[in-house]
Structure 1
Amino acid sequence: MTDGLFVTLTLLAALGSGLIAGVFFAFSTFVMAAFARLPAATGAVAMRSVNRTVLNPLFLSVFGGTALLSAVLAVLSVVSWPDHGGGWSLAAGVSYVAGSFVLTAVVHVPRNEALGRIDPDSGEAAAFWARYVPVWTAWNHVRTLASLAACALFVVALVTR
């Protein structure tokens, strides 16, 4: 791979992971807290709306594209070790793919789907919502930190090459 292409891909991965970290940070620091202050039915309906709205081409392109770039850069770092930031690129790729993309698929998507199946006006929804918010938010803190770490590690890979 040419140096220019590697730099471009790494820069795009850094920007993407930083942008996604910002989205997750917003949810961790004020969106979920705002939803938690609402009555359970209203908070659940608001979150369900977010869960439907987030499935748009722009967000999914950044979220999924960054995962793809991160995976490619992690593989390239192993193949071309010690060139191209070696360990930094590998650590960044693993951090984003595992801590953001896979965690979303394993933890957040199933919880969001379960929330979507519950009648928001039922007693079951109020109990589910009371458990949903703290668990969803705690794991979102992990996604935030993993995405931010990936951003920082991609930057280090660029600077130390």
Structure 2
Amino acid sequence: MTSRLLFSLIFAAALGSGLAAGLFFAFSSFVMNALGRLPSQQGIAAMQSINITVLNPLFSLVFFGTASLCAGFIITSFFRWDQPGMGYLLAGSLIYLIGSFLVTIVFNVPLNDALALVEPGSAEGANLWTRYLTVWTTWNHIRTAASLVALALFIYALR
């Protein structure tokens, strides 16, 4: 892999991490608060719609593409360990994969799946919604921080 190609791929991962961090930050800082102010039936329906529409090619490219780059960087960093920035590249990749990608798959997606199964106007839905707002947002804060830290580490790896 040429240095120019590696630079471009790290730059792409930095952009992907930054986009993910911005998306997660928006949810942590105002989207979930706004949904929580709605009656539970409306908040549930809105979040169910968001969870469907987020599954699109552009989001997938950013989220899964960045994760794929990170997986490749973990391997690359070991083969190029003697080169400058490889420690930052390894750390950024691990933090993104664990703190953003894995947290999403293990915590946020199951909560989204549970929310998808409830009727927005039901008592079960209202009970789930109360828990969902707190737990989902807590894990989202972690995703936000991890994506930001990964972004910073990718920037350091580019220096």
Q: TM-score range by the shorter chain?
A: over 0.9
Q: Does the 8 Å CA contact 1:119/1:125 hold for their aligned counterparts?
A: yes
SS in 1 for 2:92: helix
| 1:34 Cα deviation from its structure 2 partner | 0.2
SS in 1 for 2:81: coil
So what's the TM-score if we normalise by structure 2? 0.98
So what's the TM-score if we normalise by structure 1? 0.97
Q: Identity over the aligned pairs, expressed in percent? A: 53
**Within 2, Cα distance between the matches of 1:27 and 1:94?**
23
User: Which residue in 1 is equivalent to 2:47?
Assistant: 47
Alignment of 1:19-34 (within 5 A): 19-34=19-34
Is 2:3 aligned against 1:12? no
| 1:147 Cα deviation from its structure 2 partner | 0.4
1:21 to 1:149, Cα distance in 2 relative to 1, 3 A: same
Measured on the aligned residues, the alpha-carbon RMSD in Å equals 0.7
Structure 1: where are the runs of 5+ without partners? none
| 1:84 Cα deviation from its structure 2 partner | 4.9
Q: Does the 8 Å CA contact 1:16/1:63 hold for their aligned counterparts?
A: yes
SS in 2 for 1:55: coil
Alignment of 1:8-157 (within 5 A): 8-157=8-157
Q: Does the 8 Å CA contact 1:40/1:129 hold for their aligned counterparts?
A: yes
- The residue type paired with residue 125 of structure 2 is A
| 1:82 Cα deviation from its structure 2 partner | 2.2
Structure 2: where are the runs of 5+ without partners? none
The runs of at least 4 aligned residues of structure 1 exceeding 3 Å deviation read none
Count of residues paired in the alignment: 159
SS in 2 for 1:155: helix
**Within 2, Cα distance between the matches of 1:152 and 1:87?**
13
**Within 2, Cα distance between the matches of 1:96 and 1:81?**
19
- The residue type paired with residue 118 of structure 1 is V
